[in-house]
Structure 1
Amino acid sequence: MKTAVMTDSNSGITPEEGKKIGIYSLPMPVIIEGDVFYEGKNITQEEYYGAMTSGKNVTTSQPSPGDVMDMWDGILKEGYEQVVYIPMSSALSASCHAAIQLSEEYDGKVQVVDDHRISVTMRESVLEAKWMANQGMTAEEIKKRLEENAYNSSIYIAVDTLEYLKKGGRVTAAGAAIGAVLNIKPVLTIQGEKLDAFTKVRGMKKAELKMLEAIEEDLNTRFANVDRKQLRLGAAGTFQKQEDADQWYKMVKDTFENEIHDIYYDSLSFSIGCHVGPNAIGIGISVVTRDEK
């Protein structure tokens, strides 16, 4: 059974990167002042967050049904018998449920996975799926395995400004004003479902430390009995300066390199960035089941 793996750019895998590693990636649409762009295709991080900071109206959208089905049709015409599609979590967007409904037209040839992940943890699910497909597993088997392992992950995000949470209705205008005066930085979390409050501190330095402590706590509790070779740790962010991204990655690596050997940096997806704004800091940990030896 020849099975293709498809995702969207919320995984951090761009169409260009996907071609190199044998994964199909659907670029997610973003809308700036009424003009539609596609993540990882015709708009850069600098342009996206530059538009946000300049006060332009920036929103994200789910892909159109036509774009999703056109990609499925194209993949099947290439000679694949099945497609495993891994979109962003159903708890964060309606695009997953929409894709599940669309897949009913394909008589089981398209399996849509709801593994409740996004960004660096979603990336790991996609790479897991590709490894399983290479082992000859069917789309249905891959879907079952990923959904069983869906909640074995954590994401923590600290925002530099409350402005975009205010725009999204997660913080009141008064709360945002007070937070700005007191330099309060919320730390948010995604534990398989929606973006929720985790804690709040004063200043981004304390927020960084709080997130590192949260990962250490996960290692000592939830993942205490997990073989460290099965852990993947992704530093992430919506940084406007590369040196800031490099500094955060170094901090994460210096903290955990003796415990976790696979540590990398990847930008947070635009879908998250739209809510947390530029210069947010993230970190995500995932348990994987693949043996890449």
Structure 2
Amino acid sequence: MKVILSADRTCDLTDELRETYGVETIPYHISLEGKDYTDNVDITPEELYQAFWDRKVLPKTSAINAFEYKNYFEQWTSQGYAVIHFCLGSALTSSYQNCCIAAEELENVYVIDSCNLSSATGLQILDCRKKIDEGMAPEEIYEYFSHNQQKYHGSFVIDTYEFLKAGGRCSAITAFSANLLNIKVSIEVDNTSGGMNVGKKYRGKQDKVLKQYVKDKLTQYPDIVRDKIFITHSGIDEKYIELVRQTIEETMSFEHIYVTKASCTISSHCGPGTLGILFATEEARE
């Protein structure tokens, strides 16, 4: 049986990676000032940022509903294909439950809760392609990734608190104090659900913070998988990307360092200047 590898587009893989690894994706919806858009199809993170800076309006992101998922999957299941689909972490969205509802009405659709976001989900997808190519059955692949999400680690450092404050995710006092003291917070993804926790707090200029953050993350685990690592950002000056790449190379050797840009769904919550590194470990670790 031919297997289709699929994901929510919040996996934040580049067009090139999706094409190379044969990954189909379905995007989320963005609502801005009464108009509906398709994430990274007819609206970009920069347009969302500009709307906020100019008019202090925030977008609303919408989960993919069960009807959309069903129609999306049927283009392949109707031809006898199996579909393995990775969802954005279930703690972050109702899309996972909607996807499961759609899958129950079809045959051979395997829905995996990535328990993560952005390119930490992308890491799972690239590893899944290898298992598909090796001939592993869809049922076995589903079982593997449903029990090994804790091998995949995502975190990021936020540069501005304006979007978090406007979205009600931090108080005005917290945002003011952090900006006054030049504090930048590392947000750690809980890879048992996809939820997020506050991690280490850094103080100083962005270049200093990012360099220390990379070193901290790469020395946190003794068994980081060296085949690939992602640098994913929400829109940031190229010099910081290169600084992070250089710091990675100085700290640890990876076969591939991929740079990707976060989707509107991810970027709209954290604002511009956010950057994270995302990687896997040999053993499952929270």
6-15 vs 147-156, greater mean Cα deviation: 6-15
- Give, in whole Å, the separation in 2 of the partners of 1:216 and 1:16: 26
Q: Which residue in 2 is equivalent to 1:219?
A: 221
Which secondary structure does the structure 1 equivalent of 2:150 belong to? coil
2:74 pairs with 1:73: yes
1:181-220 correspondence to structure 2 within 5 Å? 181-192=180-191, 193-203=194-204, 204-220=206-222
Structure 1's consecutive aligned runs of 4 or more residues displaced over 4 angstroms after TM superposition are 14-17
- Give, in whole Å, the separation in 2 of the partners of 1:209 and 1:249: 6
Is contact 1:166-1:173 (8 Å) kept? Answer: yes
Is contact 1:2-1:136 (8 Å) kept? Answer: no
- Cα-to-partner distance string for 1:215-250 (whole Å, 9 max, x where unaligned): 222333xx2xx6x44x42111111254x24543443
- Give, in whole Å, the separation in 2 of the partners of 1:276 and 1:3: 35
- Give, in whole Å, the separation in 1 of the partners of 2:65 and 2:215: 40
Q: Which residue in 1 is equivalent to 2:277?
A: 283
- Give, in whole Å, the separation in 2 of the partners of 1:62 and 1:148: 24
- Output the TM-score relative to the length of structure 1: 0.85
- Give, in whole Å, the separation in 1 of the partners of 2:171 and 2:145: 37
Deviation at 1:159, TM superposition (A): 0.9
The change in CA–CA distance for 1:41 and 1:89 in structure 2 (over 3 A counts) is: same
Uncovered stretches (5+) of structure 1, i.e. residues with no partner = none
Deviation at 1:278, TM superposition (A): 0.8
158-167 vs 207-216, greater mean Cα deviation: 207-216
Uncovered stretches (5+) of structure 2, i.e. residues with no partner = none
Q: Which residue in 2 is equivalent to 1:47?
A: 47
- Cα-to-partner distance string for 1:121-163 (whole Å, 9 max, x where unaligned): 1111112222222233332211111122211122221111112
Deviation at 1:64, TM superposition (A): 2.7
1:264 to 258, 271, 279: 258
Which secondary structure does the structure 1 equivalent of 2:105 belong to? helix
Q: Which residue in 2 is equivalent to 1:124?
A: 123
1:44 aligned partner, one-letter code: T
Is contact 2:77-2:106 (8 Å) kept? Answer: no
Paired positions, count: 279
Deviation at 1:73, TM superposition (A): 0.6
Percent of paired sites with the same residue:
23
Instruction: State the Cα RMSD in Å.
Output: 2.4
